Amino acid sequence: MSWLLPLLIVLATVAMMEFVAWSSHKYVMHGFGWGWHRDHHEPHQKILEKNDLYAIIGAAISIGTFAWGSPLVMGAAAWWPATWIGLGVLVYGVIYTLIHDGLVHQRYFRWVPKRGYAKRLVQAHKLHHATIGKEGGVSFGFVLARDPAALKRDLKRQRQSGIAVLRDAVED
């Protein structure tokens, strides 16, 4: 088998996972899954959060697709692209962990970017955390970040229309 098709499957999966992450963050974590996600939006000194349970779900998806693609597990029913999809989910999980947990929330290392796209990612996610509660909000993705000035305008409109309650630090 050529290496090109598996590589394209992995890269397409990584790209698709940003959409999966965005939609699950907006509609699951800030919806019926708020019980697990709430502590991620509240100040605390704990090493682990209930929100970390979502990483276990992501790992299960990756492991499940690896297994689906494995002839050792599935025998003749194995579907070879699933192995590469599982790898793409894993790669996205590593990127997510480094960017979201590491860079933005500084759970693993302390570095505050002063410029560039890394700074934009941090600013966008900090603006996501500017709301109190699960209603409203901006920037539900983890790797793609919109312009922070546009996000601030969105938050201001949400506050004015009563959709979101903002923390004092970002009121104006």
Site of tokens 């970390």: 52
Which of 80, 111, 142 is where one domain is finished? 111
My answer on whether 78 and 125 are in the same domain is no
For residue 137, give every residue at least 6 positions away whose Cβ sits within 8 Å of its Cβ, in sequence order, or none: 26, 30, 128, 130, 131, 158, 164
The answer to whether residues 60 and 132 belong to one domain is no
Per run of 10 residues, the mean pLDDT along the chain (length 172 residues) is 94 98 96 96 92 97 97 97 98 96 92 95 95 93 94 94 83 53
Q: What is the pLDDT of residue 8?
A: 98
Domain count, the chain: 2
Task: Quote the domain boundaries for residue 141.
Answer: 113-172
Q: What is the residue type of 151?
A: L
118 and 104, same structural domain?
A: no
In this prediction, residue 12 carries a pLDDT of 98
Q: Is the pTM of the predicted complex or chain greater than 0.85?
A: yes
Q: Are residue 91 and residue 170 in the same domain, yes or no?
A: no
The whole-number pLDDT of residue 169 equals 59
